[in-house]
Structure 1
Amino acid sequence: MLAFLNPDTVPPLLVAAVFAASLLQAVTGIGFGVIAGPALLVTMASAAAIQVSIVLSFLIALLLSPLTLPVVNWRLLRPLFIGVCLGTPIGALAFLGLSLETLKLFAAVVVGAMTLIATGMLSRHPIFETDSMRRRKGVGVVCGILNAALAMPGPPVAAYVTAIKGDKSVIRATTLVTFLFSYPIALMFQYAFVGISDEVLEMATTLSLPTIVGTLSGMYLSRIVGETAFKWLTVVFLSISVGALVVG
């Protein structure tokens, strides 16, 4: 685990990116894949980086579960999870059949649209802020596709719950508990279709300590972030997600 201290084994910038990404995810419920994902892809130069991102994001969700499970909106989560189960096989097939550039373009369009909705700029059109069982399942399907294909399930959930004006604790908890349930499914499909290499396990183990430290730091910061600041932090990092997908 302490191998992350050796710059010859793991670049210091990767360690810093994983720490910052873990902290952000603990505060807002999203952001790990946005910050750590590109750094992992550059370092590992293979699709195995997506699997490492899944493992570390699941670790964050697991660490935060004692805080998030008691306050999650189960009425909202259940249809989301059904959608995730439907979308994950589609994402796994997309991961196998489409180029990384095509997957990123699709994700950028979807997350961009949801970012616009989350800002409230479309609030004059109630359709964009209306909550329904069918819409939750639809968001879950998109979440599942992005989860299996790019290890980025967070933006659709965070944008949707922000748009329907969920409070800070509900947005964060619902997003993180969606991760808790969806990442094992994505990892199972990854294992079935492409396998899990020793490189993935080694890198995930090496980066687990900065992930844990970043998560604990984020748990503390989340207590002092107000509702308005939380909403705009979510919007900012949704926007950064789009930029990372387009430029990366």
Structure 2
Amino acid sequence: MDPALLAFLTCAVFGAAMLQSATGIGYGVIAGPVLLVVLNGPEAIQISTLHNFLIGLFLVPVLRARVQVRVLGLLCLGALAGIAIGFTLLSALSVTALKLIAAGMVLFVTLTLLADMMRRREMTGGGQYARGETLAVGALSGVMGGMLAMPGPLAATWMSVRGFDMGSVRATILAFFIFAYGVNILSYVTLTGFDPQTLKLASVLTVPLAIGVLVGGLLAKRLSERVFRYLLLGVLAATILGILLSL
């Protein structure tokens, strides 16, 4: 690969990993589009999937005390059906239709978060949630994961709206990523496999990925709940913009 392109990817992966580590989401919004532009193929989604899985593996052991176990279990259960639906839609619908569906879903949760922020509620470690609602959120997140390898924004926003604090959202969503992206990886292995060059590039980029994760972990300790929610809102807005610009 051209050194300039590799340097560009290195910077993108570092910044994306830093945001993901600090907030729990964001890698797909920054690195995803850059990988798609540079690689212009499905290997971009595969690398994004592998890296998101690795970030979860790096951080969850450290954050396990903040994981909301019951919420995580319900999200994963719902995501099982959602990921299958997402993969089905991926093969049945046009790329434009998939992106419009995704943009509509993210726009809805963005407006929901914005309305909730205007209420100025206090965030707590244990938010309020219903079993059926959590399963539905997991299913919709799974659909986004199966279609576009982006299961995080919906689930993270729902947890924030339901009153979970930043630490709980971050830890639970990263643990959710291990499951959701793990299922995606298993699907790739079973259905298409990984090209050796894709795996090689993913491995090379794990260096800036690891550094970004470490820096993001330090930043997370300095984020207030208010700043966290604004960052979450910014990630959602950037997700919508990125999807629409790619049409």
Asked if these proteins are the same fold (TM beyond 0.5), I'd say yes
**Where in structure 2 are the equivalents of 1:80-229 lying within 5 Å?**
80-121=75-116, 131-229=129-227
Q: Which one of the candidate residues 33, 37, 40 is aligned to 1:38?
A: 33
Q: Name the CA shift for 1:242/1:214 in 2 (closer, same or farther; >3 Å).
A: same
Gaps of 5+ in 2: 120-126
The DSSP-based 3-state class of the residue aligned with 2:193 is coil
Deviations 1:110-154 (CA, angstroms, capped at 9, x unpaired): 111011112235988xxxx97211111111111111112211111
Q: Does 1:7 align with 2:7?
A: no
Q: 2 CA distance for matches of 1:217 and 1:161?
A: 24
Gaps of 5+ in 1: none
Aligned residues: 239
Q: Which residue of 2 aligns with 1:68?
A: 63
| Contact 2:86 2:146 survives alignment (8 Å) | yes
Q: Which residue of 1 aligns with 2:124?
A: none
Shift of 1:193: 2.5
Structure 1 length-normalised TM: 0.91
| Contact 1:84 1:140 survives alignment (8 Å) | yes
The DSSP-based 3-state class of the residue aligned with 1:120 is helix
- Amino acid of the structure 2 residue aligned with 1:148: G
| Contact 2:102 2:144 survives alignment (8 Å) | yes
Q: Which residue of 1 aligns with 2:123?
A: none
The DSSP-based 3-state class of the residue aligned with 1:119 is helix
Identity between Structure 1 and Structure 2 (%): 34
Q: Name the CA shift for 1:66/1:130 in 2 (closer, same or farther; >3 Å).
A: closer
Deviations 1:74-99 (CA, angstroms, capped at 9, x unpaired): 12111111011111111122222323
